Every structure is written in structure tokens, then in C-alpha cells.
Amino acid sequence: MGKLREPLKEITNCGLPQALEVMGERWSFLILRAAFNGFVHFEEFSSELGIARNILSNRLAKLVDNGVLQRTQCEEDRRKVEYRLTEKGLDLLPAMLALRQWGERYGAVEPGGPVLVDAQDGQPIAQIGIRAADGRELSWHDLAWCEPDQVGKPCC
Amino acid sequence: MGKLREPLKEITNCGLPQALEVMGERWSFLILRAAFNGFVHFEEFSSELGIARNILSNRLAKLVDNGVLQRTQCEEDRRKVEYRLTEKGLDLLPAMLALRQWGERYGAVEPGGPVLVDAQDGQPIAQIGIRAADGRELSWHDLAWCEPDQVGKPCC
């Protein structure tokens, strides 16, 4: 990293706390994980996650308010409601998987559970990393902060 | 996603909560962000972040306990202590940047701040995404859970 730094005090203008607000809370995270695993109905979330119904109801409403889940009527049965990931919600997946891979690499996760693969060839997905615009892998040492009007100029 | 699902109740065996424990707390996250911006001394963290000294001291100790920061003596001045990111800490960067990009895309982040670039050519880094072992970009719809002994077999 070069000499230019982010304005570190201005947490309100950083995207990360906003993301953590959505998925940093334990139950919200569990609901999101279940949604990524294909759950859509209140009763499915309730029985699978073992969350108290009032908490589940509250967290689902918050995720809908945040635009991460969409609340719609089930097409086959109009009395049923579905909670589906929006595009904004689906876009959380790289961050969730990167955190998950980190936890798997360094945490006390026991091996032997299901492996996340590319359905096409059954091969485990790659480690999520940082890449340049042209696809080269980058490490922390390759990065720099740049004023908007200096973008495109080498800054070492 | 196919029919196989993660064991959703077993949160202890998922890497993600462990990662959130390290960086999901507001102050810990601010310290990590400052560390990624090159800060190493207690006084730097203290004056830049405006954290109360006792909280800063507590959170630094926790990050050291978690193996994310390493506490070492400064080579030039033995009385000074440095907190540097370990390899485990540096490996959090893809997750932090993915969350940050998400927040920037969907949150109320004002444009005009510094841009994170590849120092070599000054071009903004790519959006962090999910890739197959061979580098192809994958979306949620391309993924499947696979039993460990079924890895390598297409599972659609």
C-alpha cells in the first residue's frame, strides 16, 4: 500500500459496515445462509434453523426492508408467502464465501462436510481472491489507493 | 443449487461465524481496516480512529489472540511495539473487499473517495467474484453442494 490512505474515521462512508449491518447479526446471517441453500418459506426457515418465530419474523422483515430478500406470493398456492434473494442479496455470495473459506482455512471447522462445487464438472470452487481488471491475481502488496483523477496512472 | 444442503443448524461447523467473530465487531473491524492501510503503532490507531485507549487495548489483544495481528518490538526503537497483520490477517482481505464492494454498489456510499487500484497500472481492481478451479466466473446458479466422495463428478 502506498501513502494515500482511506479516510479511516469516516466509517459512514465505507461500504463495509453497511454490509456487516445486513449479515453481521447472527440470525440474519443464518437466514441468509438458508436462503442461499434454497429455502423460501417461513415454515422452512423456522423448522430448519430453530429460531423463535417472533425473531424470525423480525429478521425476515429487516432483510426485506434492506432489499436483500423479496417477499412474494407463492405461484402455486396464493396463501403462501415466499422469501427469495434479490439481486442485491445474491450479490452477497462472494463475500459470504470468502469469509467461509477463511474460516475453513483457519478455524476449527471439521472436514467431511459437503463441498461447494461447480455443478458442471463437480470440481471445488477456487479460493476467492483479489484480481486486477485483466484477471491477474493480486496480493495486498500489489494494491494502492488512488485519487479518482489519478486512476489509470501507475502509482508506486 | 441442487438438493444437497449444508447442515444448516450446525453453525459451529461453518467457517463464516468464526470469521464474523473476528471482524464483525465494530471496533475490531475499524482496527483491521487501519492495519490494512498500514498503521502499526498503538498511538497511530488511537489518534486516527478515536477509540478509547482501554477499548483499543482490549481489541488489539483479542486480534493478537485470534492470530490476526502479531505483536512485535519495533526494530528501530525497542521500546515501541508494532501490531502487524499475520498471514491469517492478510487472508481476510478478499472478504473485506468483497463486503466493501457490495456496500459501495448498494449502500449510500458517496463517490469521490480514494479508489483501490493495482499499483502496477493504476487500474481499479476487479469486482470480487466466484470462480471455478479453472478460472471461469460462476454465479449462484452454477453452484452445488457435493459429498466429499462425489467431488469431480458433474452433479446437475
Smallest Cβ–Cβ distance between A129 and the set B17, B67, B94 belongs to: B94
φ/ψ bin of A67: left (φ > 0), alpha (ψ from -120 to 50), beta (otherwise): left
The C-alpha of B107 sits at a distance from chain A's nearest C-alpha, in angstroms, of 6
Distance CA A58, CA A56 (A): 5
Using CB atoms, which residue from B17, B49, B155 is nearest to A117? B155
CA Rg, chain B, in Å?
Answer: 19
Q: Which CATH class is domain B11-107+115-150?
A: mainly alpha
Count of alpha carbons within 13 angstroms of residue B64, beta-carbon side: 14
Give A113-154 pLDDT, tens digit per residue: 888 999 999 999 999 999 999 999 999 999 999 888 889 888
pLDDT of residue B12: 55
State the pLDDT at residue A39. 93
In this prediction, residue A156 carries a pLDDT of 52
* A26 CB-near residues (< 8 Å, 6+ apart): B17
Mutate: best of B23, B26, B102, B116, partner A, most A CBs <10 A? B102
Is B7 within 8 Å of chain A by CB? yes
C-alpha cell at A112: 467431511
Whole-angstrom Cα distance, residue B106 to residue B108? 7
Q: Render pLDDT for B17-45 as a digit per residue (tens, 0 to 9).
A: 667 667 767 788 889 989 999 999 999 99
- The pTM for the full model equals 0.84
Residues B21, A28: Cα–Cα separation, whole Å: 14
More confident residue, B41 or A30: B41
Q: Residue A72: which residues within 8 A CB-CB, separation 6 or more?
A: A81, A82, A84
Residues near B32 by beta carbon (within 8 Å), at least 6 away in sequence: B22, B23, B63, B68, B89, B92, B96
Q: What is the pLDDT of residue A8?
A: 62
From B133, B143, B153, B150, select the one nearest A119 (Cα to Cα): B143
> What are A22's three cell numbers?
445486513
* Residue A13 pLDDT greater than 60, yes or no: no
**Do residues B91 and B98 touch, judged by C-beta distance below 8 A?**
no
Closest CA to B120 of A131, A95, A134, A142: A142
Binned at pLDDT 50, 70 and 90, residue B5 comes out as: low
> Which grid cell is A129?
481472491
pLDDT for B63 beyond 60: yes
- The answer to whether the Cβ–Cβ distance between A98 and B17 falls below 8 Å is no
> How does the average pLDDT of chain B come out, rounded?
85
- The CATH number for A13-150, chosen from 3.10.350.10, 1.20.1070.10, 1.10.10.10, 3.40.109.10, is 1.10.10.10
Distance in Å, alpha carbon of B118 to nearest chain A alpha carbon = 5
- What are the domain boundaries of chain A? 13-150
What is the CA B98 to chain-centroid distance, rounded?
Answer: 8
Pick the residue of B3, B4, B8 with the most A CBs within 10 A to test the interface with A by mutation: B8
Taking CB atoms and an 8 Å limit, are B90 and A18 in contact across chains? no
Lowest mean pLDDT across A9-13, A110-114, A118-122, B122-126: A9-13
- Please tell me the least confidently modeled range out of B7-21, B28-42, B109-123: B7-21
Instruction: For residue B138, name the pLDDT band (cuts at 50, 70, 90).
Output: very high
